[in-house]
Amino acid sequence: MRISGDARMIWICTLLIMSFGLVTLYSASYDNVRVSHQVFYDQLACAALALAVMFILSRVHYRMFYDVAYPLYIVNVCLLVFVLVAGRSALGATRWFNVAGITFQPSELSKVAVILMLGRYFSKRNLKLSFDIRSVIYALGRDLVYPLCLMMLSFAFIFKQPDLGTAILVFGIFVIMLFASGIDWKPLTWFLGLCALVVPFGWHFLKDYQRDRLLVFLNPNIDPLGAGYTIIQSRIAIGSGQVFGKGWLAGTQNQLNFLPERHTDFIFAVIGEEWGFAGTLFLLGCYFMLIYTGILIAGRVKDKFGYLVAVGIVSILTLQVVINMSMTMGLSPVVGITLPFVSYGRTSFLVFAVMAGFLLNLSHQRRSTL
């Protein structure tokens, strides 16, 4: 099968991001007592598996994604329930369980499960709603409340773990895909306005450490040795990199153990310190081209299911990159979001490989219809 220009760009950008991530992860775990060097080899093996997954999914029958959408969502909800009952707890959260010695995080699978579920549901609905009482009532019926309840089911179990970052992403996916499905913007505005009014009441449902993160976002210096420590060190690391960085394996905040979680949520700070503004700009360029190619693929596909899922994939990739980078720079609260294809995390890595595989498949099958 001939590789299209879109598919070639996805492969190139993904390989560049993966490679940059592995180089950075090697540095984050190099001769370090807090982060085992084994995480680098785990990620290297995961990257090889991810590339195989992308290749296989790019060549399976396109309808497979449609057929597995609901079963995958049901399985994922069951896993979210199971992890709350028998999962492994760490850092105040219960998000993981072990399968044959391998740690698995069901909330990461929720990203692709919810996207496929909503894509299949909305692809069979015509939500061209105008702002009149009949349309509003209809919107609050089968075509809005039902998918909203399905999304909220995943949202509630993820929030319970707690995993606020992923829960926010799941809700964001729903809103974006709802808009992409063709709903009139006026009912959607009312829905978002209602959600905004409810948000302040969510303060009482947050864990203590989540409240602390929101407070230190407003002023990191209120607890510089506690909740604000990580973000302060992250900003120091990024700022000290200046234009071209301190060099690979030469970042002081990284190598001298001042920066916590530098192999997961705060790996962008390592990139900023060691590779400087030039390195971060290169990484941003790779992400931009990957996202831009996904947008082109979504715009060209003739099938509504493929279009909606492509929109969901591009949206979550964009949201996750923006949120992760902004929180490491202190521009948004810390919510525990990884940097796609860069941060350590096998489940997250493979989930994004599945998404990239779908875009590759869609680039080959963009003229097909279900």
Mean pLDDT of 289-295: 95
What confidence tens digit (pLDDT) does each residue in 53-73 have? 999 999 898 889 999 999 999
Lowest mean pLDDT among 7-11, 130-134, 165-169, 357-361: 130-134
> Which pLDDT does position 141 carry in this prediction?
56
Question: Count of H helices and E strands in the chain?
Answer: 15, 3
3-state secondary structure of 1: coil
Q: Is a pLDDT exceeding 60 seen at residue 136?
A: no
C-alpha to C-alpha distances, 193 to 84, 113, 122, nearest whole angstrom: 31, 27, 22
Task: Residue count of the chain, please give it.
Answer: 370
What percentage of the chain exceeds 70 in pLDDT? 87
> Which pLDDT does position 73 carry in this prediction?
95
Q: Is a pLDDT exceeding 60 seen at residue 279?
A: yes
33: confidence class by pLDDT, cuts 50, 70, 90:
low
Q: Is a pLDDT exceeding 80 seen at residue 214?
A: no
337: tokens are: 């979001």
Closest-CA residue to 119 (of 359, 294, 357, 309): 309
Q: Give one DSSP letter per residue of 131-173, joined into a string.
A: SSHHHHHHHTTTTTHHHHHHHHHHHHHHHHTT-HHHHHHHHHH
Q: Is a pLDDT exceeding 50 seen at residue 16?
A: yes
Give the whole-angstrom CA distance, residue 353 versus residue 54.
Answer: 6
Give the whole-angstrom CA distance, residue 10 versus residue 12.
Answer: 6
Give the whole-angstrom CA distance, residue 214 versus residue 195.
Answer: 19
The burial of 84, by beta-carbon neighbours within 10 Å (0-12 exposed, 13-18 middle, 19 or more buried), is given as middle
Closest-CA residue to 331 (of 225, 226, 238): 238
Closest-CA residue to 170 (of 186, 193, 147): 147
Q: Is a pLDDT exceeding 60 seen at residue 133?
A: no
Give the whole-angstrom CA distance, residue 148 versus residue 163.
Answer: 19
> Which pLDDT does position 21 carry in this prediction?
94
> What's the mean pLDDT when you consider all of the chain?
84
Closest-CA residue to 353 (of 63, 142, 111): 111
Give the whole-angstrom CA distance, residue 249 versus residue 338.
Answer: 21
Contacts of 145 (CB under 8 A, 6+ apart): none
> Which pLDDT does position 368 carry in this prediction?
45
Q: Is a pLDDT exceeding 60 seen at residue 176?
A: yes
What confidence tens digit (pLDDT) does each residue in 142-175 have? 567 788 888 999 999 998 888 888 998 999 999 8
Buried-state track 158-191, b at ≥16 Cβ within 10 A, e below 16: bbbbbbbbbbbbbbbbbebbbbbbebbeebbeeb
| Residue ranges covered by each domain of the chain | 5-365
Q: Is a pLDDT exceeding 60 seen at residue 347?
A: yes
Lowest mean pLDDT among 22-31, 253-262, 279-288: 253-262
Lowest mean pLDDT among 200-209, 254-263, 331-340: 200-209
> Which pLDDT does position 369 carry in this prediction?
46
Q: Largest Cα–Cα distance in the chain?
A: 65
Q: Is a pLDDT exceeding 60 seen at residue 327?
A: yes
Lowest mean pLDDT among 113-117, 183-187, 325-329: 183-187
> Which pLDDT does position 187 carry in this prediction?
64
